Amino acid sequence: MQAWLERVAEMFDAAFISGDRWKLYLQGLGVTLQIAAFAAILGMIIGTILAFMKLSVRRNGKKTILAVIANIYIDVIRGTPSVLQLMIMWFIIFYSAKNRVAVAVLSFGINSGAYVAEIVRAGILAVDKGQMEAGRSLGLSRTQTMISIIIPQAVKNVLPPIGNEFIVLLKETAIVGYVSLTDLTRVANQIASRTYEPFMPLIGAAVIYFVVIKILTILLERFERRLRKSDNR
């Protein structure tokens, strides 16, 4: 038992302490959070625009060209792996770009936008149709009713699932190593290759991911409870 503990201590020292390698994990985590945060913001912007495009209809009830474009976008993005999208963005579309972080943010933002679009669309449709009728009966236009009545109610519906989308996005950024970005996962792989001991670096990275995501999950749960309390008032 003592020999095993000594061996674990040696692996821990090689993976985290020796050469101040713990700083590399922090730097990698910083890159991961940076990409996830900016991609989430971009995804929310794209997703909101796509949601309204998809909800747009003509007076005769048929879909508009914007709705068709939004449907195609969402189908293509959701129907292809995010790692392929990242590689296409880096090796084909932005092959001459120097900022890998910006390319990763754009790629993940475009990917997230397709999922956020469905979340926002579902949140708007979840609002009772009588709310639109009530707004129109008060003399508000369709746009005014949407801005003043529908959207504020839809926000409460979409915020929790958007929070979950951010957590998923944070984990998906682990693939940025394909474009040579030194995120948390790539740092673990690099240290494993240097120490020839993959166990401790990979487990360490997994623990860091778990802790960060657990904190975000707790914050999201508290936020959802506050939303429910406000609904009960």
Average pLDDT of span 80-85: 94
pTM for this prediction: 0.88
- The top-scoring range by mean pLDDT among 10-14, 146-150, 184-188 is 184-188
The predicted pLDDT at position 45 comes to 95
- The top-scoring range by mean pLDDT among 57-61, 74-78, 153-157, 193-197 is 74-78
- DSSP per position, the chain: -HHHHHHHHHHHIIIIIGGGTHHHHHHHHHHHHHHHHHHHHHHHHHHHHHHHHHH-B-TTSPBPHHHHHHHHHHHHHHTS-HHHHHHHIIIIITTT---HHHHHHHHHHHHHHHHHHHHHHHHHHTS-HHHHHHHHHTT--HHHHIIIIIHHHHHHHHHHHHHHHHHHHHHHGGGGGGGT---HHHHHHHHHHHHT--HHHHHHHHHHHHHHHHHHHHHHHHHHHHHHHHHH-
In tens, the pLDDT along 108-144 reads 999 999 999 999 998 888 887 777 777 777 777 777 7
Average pLDDT of span 142-152: 77
User: What angle is formed at CA 12 by the lines to CA 10 and CA 15, rounded to 5 degrees?
Assistant: 110
Average pLDDT of span 152-169: 86
| Confidence band, pLDDT 50/70/90 cuts, at residue 29 | very high
In tens, the pLDDT along 178-233 reads 888 899 999 999 999 998 888 999 999 999 999 999 999 998 888 878 877 766 55
Could you tell me which residue, 101 or 126, shows the higher pLDDT? 101
The predicted pLDDT at position 159 comes to 83
